[in-house]
């Protein structure tokens, strides 16, 4: 879904680097593939570094090509984090898209650093005990010129952000929440709906940070005040992965949402 | 032009002469001065290459690969733990059929920590589908690196090339090196060729899932490209001979006083020169021995090796590397190539210093043995005063 | 030297390289007359197998997986999910 939206947003002059994940599989079998873009498929932890070499090669060949790294949350938060951090710190000139489905969905949905508290996965059958890793904030601490979040629930916002990212030079980070019906346990027809619920309940903030200036996207503006947020339960109850959630876990998740927004408010003030 | 320089400086100069576009760098002893030298050249404005100072060796190889598949000549260098850390990308690079060059200044592998010379790091990549050459002098490090770019980008090959050299012994020791002119090198290395380019114009992609039969064919293709590279290497070597008066690259490996020899010693790398001196001395003393120096571990030239060593009564293979539990890798390779008595020696690990006296005693003892008995097996040799080695650890001693 | 032995892990774009849907789809979307041609289904469809042709949405059944996202996002509920025979 996100891949198609990117196609609409970025136009033709794009080269992809796809690290191990679902997107390595949905291309289909060689020697054919189902992508309209040239793609370098590469090992899990190598995407940002390969992109660092690729955009420089295009520059040396005087070609105006937007290099995009396509990675899952496992490849971003866990095994590829050193490579991501290095490329962000060097302010390498490419767009990094993290397709965040909050687990290792390609290998069966095992927990990752990006899995939220309380979620049941094959490797956390009792529910994950820790909170989701704050990738966007971590990226901001790398002084990158552009960092944003989006959700497949709001494709226009997502495409706007990609278009804006394309005009900026340097390291651009976009994290897209992509609800996975098989890992999150809901009916696949509700994918877009769940993506919207995540935003409406303020679990997933839609933000855009350009050169350190934090901007809350329209769809998330109601989250700035606690009273106007939709109850978190509306997002959690449609998913089977939260079936083990007890009252304490629920409170934990609520305070996680509060914490996130407090932090955003603080960033907006500075 | 002649200039006194270390192996690392010679390699950096070769990278500059080859007009490399992107270099991925990450420091590790004893390779570090290659990348320092390249960064210096760049700062002085002598080098046009884009230098990417990455955060790990895994990324160094990924940067180099990313640039290579996108149409630009690229280079990286590493040692020891660094090579092991990038192991995954070493395979991904050959699997991608990306022409590029890496230099490995060899060093022992931990644990425990050891920064000194040993070839096990380099030898441990011999299954990975790269062309692998090993230098014996700073001159050869420069020559092989230059040739590596041309071999790598030859359509009959289209594979990455790894050039090894002994850490410290070559990387940090200065000798006189002949430097070919930029014009000669430009004529020697043609403009970049590669099997495909990742580019929105071609829309070609690399590396998605292929069905099993196709995957196996891709692997066989690498195998055949390595086998066929033998002719390419000799052809490139003969071309190189025309621009450099030193050394002879018309063959993959190098033989020394082998024609009339009954026995031979086989080595690789810098200590081959010590072994050659020992051979001279032994010949003075009436022992009919010669030396065979392996320069290319991949391709492994069965033909050349059989021609040069097939008629010997017995050979001694001295390895500065181990395949633990099985002896030295060179020894194992030769055992699978020749049908004559072969004895293996593993020595010089972790920087243990082995000199011409040691070669003299090893070879003379070997010939003595081979004359009167069937030689074979692997000996762990400790030189000089450390003949008696207590293998007990402090813990078992108590 | 013949270069026939040289094969590379390269692929080129082709329609349906991911494979046709086959017979495992259990429900299929059917567009009814209520369709207003707003393109919401086109925007969200994960497979790119529905789009507005003329003034009404059309489904490409060969590759449609029957996930039902289109029916869910349709603002006028013009798409019905029908059991496969």
**Per-residue pLDDT band at B398 (split at 50, 70, 90):** very low
Domains of chain C listed by start with CATH number: 27-83 (3.30.70.20)
CA separation for the pair B95, A42 (Å, rounded): 11
Average pLDDT over residues B248-271: 97
The answer to whether the CB atoms of C1 and B231 lie below 8 A apart is: yes
Q: What percent of chain B has pLDDT over 90?
A: 95
Residue pair A45/A79 in contact (Cβ under 8 Å)? The answer is yes
The answer to whether the CB atoms of B206 and C3 lie below 8 A apart is: no
Question: Angle, to 10 degrees, between the axis of helix B272-284 and the axis of helix B356-372?
Answer: 60
Task: List pLDDT tens digits, range B280-321.
Answer: 999 999 999 999 999 999 999 999 999 999 999 999 999 999
CA separation for the pair A26, A180 (Å, rounded): 15
Minimal CA separation from A93 to chain B, in Å: 12
What is the separation of C-alpha C16 from the centre of its chain, rounded to a whole number of angstroms?
Answer: 10
Q: How far apart are the first and last CA of chain B?
A: 61
DSSP assignments along chain A, one per residue: -HHHHHHHHH-S-EEEEEESSHHHHTT-STTEES-SS-EEEE-GGGHHHHHHHHHHHHHHTT---EEEEEEEHIIIIITTHHHHHHHHHTT-SSEEEEEE-SSBGGGT-B--TTPPTT--BTTBTT---SPPP-HHHHHHTTT-SEEEEEETT-HHHHHHHHHHHHHS-S-EEEEEE---HHHHTS-GGGHHHHHHHHHHTTSS--EEEETTEEEE-GGGGGGGSGGGSPPTHHHHTT-GGGTT--HHHHHHHHHHHHHHHHHHHHHHH-
Minimal CA separation from B243 to chain A, in Å: 29
CA separation for the pair B337, B306 (Å, rounded): 7
CA distances, B183 to each of B18, B150, B301, B324, B369 (Å): 11, 15, 32, 46, 53
Helix (H, G, I), strand (E, B) or coil at B106: strand
The answer to whether the CB atoms of A52 and B66 lie below 8 A apart is: yes
What is the separation of C-alpha B116 from the centre of its chain, rounded to a whole number of angstroms?
Answer: 17
CA distances, C78 to each of B33, B192, C18, C75 (Å): 69, 57, 28, 8
Task: List pLDDT tens digits, range B30-85.
Answer: 999 999 999 999 999 999 999 999 999 999 999 999 999 999 999 999 999 999 99
Running DSSP on this structure, what letter comes out for residue B350?
A: G
Range from A146-160, B257-271, B373-387 carrying the lowest mean pLDDT: B373-387
Minimal CA separation from A184 to chain C, in Å: 15
Helix (H, G, I), strand (E, B) or coil at B289: strand
Interface test with A, best of B54, B65, B66, B96 (most A CBs within 10 A): B66
Nearest CA in chain A to C71: A189
Q: Hey, what are B108's tokens?
A: 């022992």
Nearest CA in chain C to A35: C13
Domains of chain B listed by start with CATH number: 2-243 (3.40.50.970), 254-386 (3.40.50.920)
pLDDT of residue A25: 73
- B46 reaches C (C-beta below 8 A): no
**B386 pLDDT above the threshold of 60:** no
Computed over every residue of chain B, the mean pLDDT equals 95
Which residues in chain A are contacts of C38 at CB distance < 8 A?
A: none
Task: List pLDDT tens digits, range C47-73.
Answer: 889 999 989 999 999 999 999 999 999
Residues of A with CB under 8 A from a CB of C: 1, 4-5, 26-36, 152, 155, 181, 187-193
Interface test with B, best of C6, C13, C14, C19 (most B CBs within 10 A): C6
CA separation for the pair A26, A109 (Å, rounded): 16
Range from A25-39, B167-181, B204-218 carrying the lowest mean pLDDT: A25-39
Residue pair A198/A47 in contact (Cβ under 8 Å)? The answer is no
Residue owning tokens 């892990």 = C9
Interface test with B, best of A37, A38, A53, A55 (most B CBs within 10 A): A53
CA separation for the pair A94, A169 (Å, rounded): 8
- A7 reaches B (C-beta below 8 A): no
Minimal CA separation from C64 to chain B, in Å: 22
- B205 reaches C (C-beta below 8 A): yes
Minimal CA separation from C13 to chain B, in Å: 7
Residues 116-175 of B with CB under 8 A from C: 155-156, 158
Q: Is the dihedral of CA B56, B62, B63, B68 positive or negative?
A: positive
Residue pair C40/A58 in contact (Cβ under 8 Å)? The answer is no
pLDDT of residue B397: 43
Find the CB nearest A189 among C10, C48, C68: C68
**B390 pLDDT above the threshold of 70:** no
Residues 220-239 of B with CB under 8 A from C: 220-221, 224-225, 228, 231
- B218 reaches C (C-beta below 8 A): yes
Residue pair B322/B348 in contact (Cβ under 8 Å)? The answer is no
Domains of chain A listed by start with CATH number: 2-269 (3.40.50.970)
Which residues in chain C are contacts of A190 at CB distance < 8 A?
A: 72
Q: How many Cβ atoms from other residues are within 10 Å of residue A46's Cβ?
A: 29
CA distances, B110 to each of A41, B82, C33 (Å): 32, 11, 72
Find the CB nearest C9 among B95, B155, B203: B95
CA separation for the pair B101, B222 (Å, rounded): 16
- Nearest C-alpha neighbor of A19 from the set A44, A39, A37, A38: A44
Three-state SS for B3-51 is EEECHHHHHHHHHHHCCCCEEEECCCCCCHHHHHHHHHHHHCCCCCCEE
Task: List pLDDT tens digits, range B103-156.
Answer: 999 999 999 999 999 999 999 999 999 999 999 999 999 999 999 999 999 999
Which residues in chain A are contacts of C72 at CB distance < 8 A?
A: 189-193
The answer to whether the CB atoms of C69 and A155 lie below 8 A apart is: no
Three-state SS for C4-20 is CCCCCCEEEECCCCCCC
Interface test with B, best of A19, A32, A50, A88 (most B CBs within 10 A): A50
Nearest CA in chain B to C4: B221
Minimal CA separation from A158 to chain C, in Å: 12
Weakly modelled stretches of chain A, pLDDT under 70: 1
């Amino acid at each position: 879904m996100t891949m198609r939206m990117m196609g609409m947003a970025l136009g033709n002059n794009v080269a992809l680097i796809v690290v191990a994940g679902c997107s390595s599989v949905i291309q289909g079998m060689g020697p054919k593939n189902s992508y309209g873009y040239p793609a370098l498929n590469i090992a899990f932890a190598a995407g940002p570094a390969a992109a660092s070499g690729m955009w420089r090669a295009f520059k040396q060949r005087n070609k105006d090509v937007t290099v995009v790294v396509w990675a899952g949350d496992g490849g971003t938060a866990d095994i590829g984090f050193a490579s991501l951090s290095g490329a962000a710190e060097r302010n390498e000139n490419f767009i990094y898209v993290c397709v965040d489905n909050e687990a290792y969905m390609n290998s069966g949905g095992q927990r990752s650093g990006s899995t939220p508290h309380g979620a049941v996965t094959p490797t956390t059958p009792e529910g994950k005990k820790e909170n989701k890793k704050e990738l966007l904030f971590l990226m901001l601490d790398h002084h990158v010129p552009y960092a944003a979040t989006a959700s497949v629930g709001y494709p226009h916002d997502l495409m706007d952000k990609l278009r804006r990212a394309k005009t900026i030079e340097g390291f651009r980070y976009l994290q897209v929440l992509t609800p996975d019906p098989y890992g999150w346990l809901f009916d696949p027809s509700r994918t877009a709906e769940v993506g919207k619920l995540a935003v409406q309940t303020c679990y997933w903030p839609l933000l855009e940070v350009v050169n350190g200036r934090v901007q809350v996207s329209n769809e998330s503006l109601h989250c700035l005040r606690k009273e106007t947020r939709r109850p978190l339960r509306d997002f959690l109850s449609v998913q089977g992965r939260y079936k083990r959630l007890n009252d304490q876990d629920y409170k934990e998740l609520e305070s996680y949402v509060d914490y996130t927004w407090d932090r955003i408010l603080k960033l907006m003030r500075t | 032009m002649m200039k006194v320089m270390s192996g690392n400086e010679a390699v950096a100069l070769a990278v500059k002469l080859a007009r490399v576009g992107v270099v991925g760098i990450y420091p590790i002893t004893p390779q570090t001065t290659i990348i320092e030298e390249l960064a210096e050249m760049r700062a002085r404005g002598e080098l046009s290459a884009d230098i990417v100072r990455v955060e790990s060796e895994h990324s160094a190889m990924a940067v180099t690969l990313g640039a290579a598949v996108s149409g630009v000549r690229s280079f990286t260098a590493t040692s020891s733990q660094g090579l092991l850390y990038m192991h995954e990308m070493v395979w991904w690079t050959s699997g991608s059929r990306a022409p590029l060059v890496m230099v490995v200044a060899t060093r022992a592998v931990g644990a425990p920590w050891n920064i000194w010379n040993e070839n096990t790091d380099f030898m441990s990549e011999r299954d990975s589908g790269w062309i692998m050459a090993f230098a014996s002098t700073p001159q050869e490090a420069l020559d092989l690196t230059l040739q590596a770019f041309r071999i790598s980008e030859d359509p009959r090959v289209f594979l990455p090339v790894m050039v090894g050299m002994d850490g410290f012994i070559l990387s940090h020791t200065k000798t006189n090196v002949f430097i070919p002119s930029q014009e000669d090198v430009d004529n020697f290395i043609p403009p970049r060729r590669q099997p495909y380019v990742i580019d929105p114009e071609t829309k070609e992609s690399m590396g998605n899932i292929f069905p099993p039969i196709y995957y196996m064919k891709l692997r066989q293709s690498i195998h055949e490209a390595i086998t066929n590279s033998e002719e390419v290497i000799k052809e490139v070597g003969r071309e190189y001979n025309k621009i450099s008066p030193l050394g002879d690259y018309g063959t993959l490996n190098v033989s020394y006083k082998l024609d009339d020899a009954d026995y031979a010693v086989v080595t690789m790398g810098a200590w081959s020169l010590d072994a050659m001196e020992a051979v001279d001395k032994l010949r003075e003393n009436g022992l009919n021995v010669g030396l065979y120096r392996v320069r290319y571990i991949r391709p492994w030239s069965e033909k050349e090796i059989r021609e040069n060593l097939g008629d010997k009564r017995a050979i001694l293979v001295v390895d500065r590397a181990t395949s633990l539990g099985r002896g030295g890798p060179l020894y194992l390779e030769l055992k699978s190539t020749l049908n004559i008595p072969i004895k293996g020696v593993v020595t010089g690990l972790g920087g243990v210093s082995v000199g011409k006296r040691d070669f003299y005693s090893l070879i003379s003892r070997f010939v003595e043995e081979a004359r009167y008995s069937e030689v074979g097996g692997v000996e762990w040799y400790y030189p000089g005063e450390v003949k008696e080695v207590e293998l007990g650890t402090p813990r078992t001693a108590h | 030297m013949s270069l026939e032995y040289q094969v590379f892990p390269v692929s080129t774009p082709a329609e349906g390289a991911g494979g046709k849907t086959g017979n495992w789809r259990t429900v299929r979307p059917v567009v009814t007359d209520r369709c207003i041609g707003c393109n919401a289904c086109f925007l969200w469809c994960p497979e790119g197998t529905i789009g507005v042709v003329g003034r009404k949405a059309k489904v490409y059944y060969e590759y449609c997986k029957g996930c039902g996202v289109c029916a869910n996002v349709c603002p006028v509920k013009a798409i019905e999910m029908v059991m496969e025979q």
